[in-house]
Structure 1
Amino acid sequence: MDNYGWLSILPPIIAIVLALRTKQVYIALLFGIWFSWIIINDWNFLTGTLSAIEGMVNVFKSEGNTRTIMFSALVGALLLFIQYSKGVEGFINQLNKVIAYFEKKQTGYSRVIVQLLALLTGILLFVETSISSLTVGTLYRPVFDKLKIPREKLAYIADSSSAPSSILIPFNAWGAFIMGLLVTQGLENPFGLMLSSIAYNFYPILAIAIVVIVIVSKKDIGPMAKAEKRTRETGKLLNDNSKPMLSSEVTSLAPKEGIKAKAYNMIIPLVTMVFMMPINLVYTGWGNVTDAVSTSDHIFKAIGQGSGSSSVLYAVLTAILVAMVLYRSQKIMKTKEMIDLVLKGISELMPLALLMLLAFAIGDACNELGTGKFVAEWSKDWLSPEFLPAIIFVISSFIAFSTGTSWGTFAIMMAIAIPMAEVHQAPITLVIAATLGGGIFGDHCSPISDTSIISSMSSASDHIDHVNTQLPYALIGGIATIILYLILGFAL
């Protein structure tokens, strides 16, 4: 069958509630996976349990999933490299000069500047969400710790600057994927439609704006306000019962003694990783382009045809190799020492790789249940043109929240939203924007989102604490977006 009706939404909802209530995200995801396969196997507990195990094994049948899990583990090696080489220490020394300058101007202003710099870094790394959130967390965590800014705030900034910038500046794999979906729907000038929809894609715009307001006003709400108060008064960067996503071996590895701290020992590997992402997209997609009219057209279309998971994996591997050559040439590390660090880094990031595995497995189970199809089909009959953009946003948000994937939401909802917009003669750019924005909003609120997981990991924050502290700001942006779509739905 295409879907299992209302039963198809129970497993992801139960998993999310369990994760938020118990803070045991691994157990919550495992239960969600198990319960999904129990339903699929007609409540046969033995067959369902065995199918759940096979479902997790089958995650590796997808080359993209395997590459992403490998990337998640290899990131640990890169983090250890830049920490051990005193690259992070060198970068912090440079940031301290910036902090000292602003402290002379106005006491306490350095906290604002550093947070704005972290946000700007995340926006500028629009080429890929994983690289953006990873780099922001890795670069700014030591400085945030020094200034007594809670880890939850860093994870929030990393998360809220990654996907929003990638969707608003779509000259990346995101833009290529969205264009492909629009082409599939038979729309003319898909690139123009995608660019036109950016002006109506309110949620990512508001998400970034809210971060700026929170930083500049120094006013926080809800759990984030409590986190700020805790850190200011006690110096504790995390709650007492929190479990940071990243091992302390990675976050606090002692740098090698007897070498000079140089910022470029961190900057060069990270810039290499970012720079290699678009190059790898072009490389992996070059041979798939057959209708290019010029070299520039071929390059852009190659980005659209490129493999995002391959590009990310190749980028981090290249960064590790560049780091090895860089450190070996300076006689900072010997070859055996570097190999040991790679293995140690991988081992320390295995919890993250496991979490990614479970996130993919529950996503596959939701696809098998037809969760997204059920929600989309259930909403078809009662939509009207005026309410269409707002309701499309809400449905996209729910699908993304339940499945933890914005791209999967785009793929499901574009096929529903665009035909409905044409039938009801609703503004097509508004509906496209609502679909995309809803996917980002739901993904931001979901504890099983891979972007949120990586943001927690790179910031060494407790993952559920990150979700809880980010949620009020995301809800403000989401509610404001719904109101704007209602207004425009009646006005246009």
Structure 2
Amino acid sequence: MDNFGILSLLPPLLAIIIAVCTKNVIISLFSATFIGVMVLSSYNPIESVKILIGDYFFAQLTDSYNAGVLVLLVFIGGFIALMEKSGGAYAFAQKVTKFIDTKPKAQLSAWFGGILIFFSDLGTPLIIGPIFEPIFDKLKISREKLAWIIDSTASPIAVLVPFIGWGVYVMGLIQKEFEVLNIAQSDFTAFMKAIPYQIYPILAITMVPIIAITKLDFSQMQKAEKRVESTGKLHWDNSNPSRKFEKLSDLDIKNSKASLVTIPLLVLFVTLFGILIPQGFPFKKIEGSEFRIALSTGYLFASIVLMALMSIYKTKTFNETFNIYINGMQKMMYVSVTLVLAWSLGSIIKNMGTANYIISIMQGNVSGAFIPAILFILGACVSFSTGSSWGTFAIMMPLAIPMAVAMDVSIYICIGAVLSGGLFGDHCSPISDTTILSSTGAGCDLIDHVKTQLPYALINGGITLICYLIAGVINNEFSLVIAIFMLFLTTFTLNKINSKKTLQSTVSDN
């Protein structure tokens, strides 16, 4: 039997339901995996626990590929912690803000700052937000606009970068499915080829400069902008903004310099490419294990240089710096546990034949051209309900890749659809960590941020859905060009409508 029938749907459905109810990805993944093992072991609870630990958890941890990913995540965690605590990002951003004297410049500078701090999606809101608050306030730009810009450059940038935690995590999920399906391709190659199909995050990033330059605001964001412009009020009367930083000095580390960001990143890239280029990169295929070794080496060297610079500049003592590095490594434990559980759930889904069962239902009833759009919608629903894009990737990837292979759909489009769906739901969800941190960093009420961001997210989400329907038919990267064209066309149309309404309002007032 290649599947357990309708029972094979139990693990992924339970993962979604429990995640929605508990808002806890680890509990949901563990519970779903355990129930799957129960079904496979004839419902013997004691035997199920033994099998779960021995045949799944231990097996995942002792796999050489998995071990390499977990080690790399630990190095990344230590480096990010040093970056955030060094004050270098703050010092760098302060240099950028000196020549900002117009609204478009302020918005574009915040957008560019969010892109520069690509190495930490959770660090972006808490670094960029407090720096740009006084600038936005001075130029009478709403805090809601700042929160939207931050949210549009945190996760959307992170999910496109292969050499930080997001990319490593996603490649780990991809590689597991490739091993099961005997696909002779590296996870890095697949990730890079899927980037043009990550339509939603690319649209989210692209929309910010369009709105900033055209000065186009609509729906709730337009009301927020008018409130600040006409009354000077930073918040609605009923708002209760939650703040992590009450003053800029909380981010201003003594003796900090911009070089604390630029030099370590330079060391990281020089080390990475210095190791990969002699192996033929980017013209020859590089094995995933070699890429992870190069990355781990780069992050280690960059961290050593950063610790040395922090000691030389006397921003922290050596002991403080070392403790920051170790604490950063420890914080990656949550991510590592999530990844091990995700790998285990993927194995359960394979052993229960979940993908085979779904494919058997769809074949003959659903055209393969609709698969990317379906994956995008499902991913968005799961992410919105759980507030976790990473949890969504863990649940959807073991279903998406086998479906793509069986129904002769591009694997890269399906990977992009899963990642886009996770990001779209994450952007719309009031319980997403990046949504919460973006409102916190901008000093904006959470619900106000959700209400003002939602129309922008829905426009991008609608365009993305249409383009996945197109991508399923044309099966090439031109779908991204169509998406960007549609975004420009939509904003142009809205701009014309807004201008017409403004003109009519002026005429009626006169």
TM-score, with length taken from structure 2: 0.62
Q: Where do residues 359-398 of structure 1 align in structure 2 (5 Å cutoff)?
A: 359-370=339-350, 371-384=354-367, 388-395=368-375, 398=378
Distance 1:302 1:222, change over 3 A: farther
**Correspondence for 2:100:** 102
User: 8 Å contact 1:64–1:309 — kept in the other structure?
Assistant: no
User: 8 Å contact 2:272–2:298 — kept in the other structure?
Assistant: yes
Aligned-pair distance for 1:37? 2.7
Distance 1:353 1:72, change over 3 A: farther
Distance 1:409 1:164, change over 3 A: farther
Give the whole-Å Cα distance in 1 for the aligned partners of 2:266 and 2:238. 31
Aligned-pair distance for 1:263? 0.7
Give the whole-Å Cα distance in 1 for the aligned partners of 2:38 and 2:84. 45
Give the whole-Å Cα distance in 2 for the aligned partners of 1:113 and 1:213. 10
Q: Which runs of 5+ in 1 are unaligned?
A: 126-130, 287-296, 422-430
One of 153, 169, 183 as aligned partner of 1:157: 153
Distance 1:378 1:345, change over 3 A: same
The residue type equivalent to 1:162 in the other structure is A
Deviations 1:254-298 (A, max 9, x none): 7664xx331111222234334544445557xx3xxxxxxxxxx66
1:8 and 2:8 are equivalent in the alignment: yes
Distance 1:409 1:132, change over 3 A: farther
Moved more, 19-28 or 317-326: 19-28
SS of 2:153's equivalent? Answer: helix
One of 423, 447, 463 as aligned partner of 1:444: 423
SS of 2:264's equivalent? Answer: helix
Aligned-pair distance for 1:158? 1.8
The residue type equivalent to 2:258 in the other structure is A
Aligned-pair distance for 1:479? 4.1
**Correspondence for 2:235:** 233
User: 8 Å contact 1:164–1:207 — kept in the other structure?
Assistant: no
Give the whole-Å Cα distance in 2 for the aligned partners of 1:68 and 1:222. 42
Give the whole-Å Cα distance in 2 for the aligned partners of 1:213 and 1:320. 36
Give the whole-Å Cα distance in 1 for the aligned partners of 2:80 and 2:195. 34
Give the whole-Å Cα distance in 1 for the aligned partners of 2:129 and 2:23. 23
User: 8 Å contact 1:87–1:264 — kept in the other structure?
Assistant: yes
Bigger CA radius of gyration: 2
User: 8 Å contact 1:76–1:346 — kept in the other structure?
Assistant: yes
Give the whole-Å Cα distance in 1 for the aligned partners of 2:468 and 2:114. 27
Deviations 1:374-398 (A, max 9, x none): 33343223244xxx32334424764
1:358 and 2:358 are equivalent in the alignment: no
**Correspondence for 2:61:** 60
Aligned-pair distance for 1:94? 0.8
User: 8 Å contact 1:80–1:253 — kept in the other structure?
Assistant: no
**Correspondence for 1:81:** 82
Distance 1:208 1:236, change over 3 A: farther
User: 8 Å contact 2:89–2:127 — kept in the other structure?
Assistant: yes
Aligned-pair distance for 1:112? 1.4
Give the whole-Å Cα distance in 1 for the aligned partners of 2:157 and 2:422. 13
1:113 and 2:108 are equivalent in the alignment: yes
SS of 2:159's equivalent? Answer: helix
User: 8 Å contact 1:56–1:361 — kept in the other structure?
Assistant: yes
Aligned-pair distance for 1:11? 2.9
**Correspondence for 1:424:** none
Moved more, 144-153 or 478-487: 144-153
One of 140, 150, 156 as aligned partner of 2:128: 140
Provide the aligned length of Structure 1 versus Structure 2. 420
Distance 1:457 1:234, change over 3 A: closer
User: 8 Å contact 1:71–1:313 — kept in the other structure?
Assistant: yes
Aligned-pair distance for 1:366? 3.1
Aligned-pair distance for 1:233? 1.8
Aligned-pair distance for 1:361? 0.9
Identity %: 20
Deviations 1:51-83 (A, max 9, x none): 444544443223443444444444443344345
SS of 1:301's equivalent? Answer: coil
Distance 1:8 1:403, change over 3 A: farther
Aligned-pair distance for 1:36? 3.0
TM-score, with length taken from structure 1: 0.64
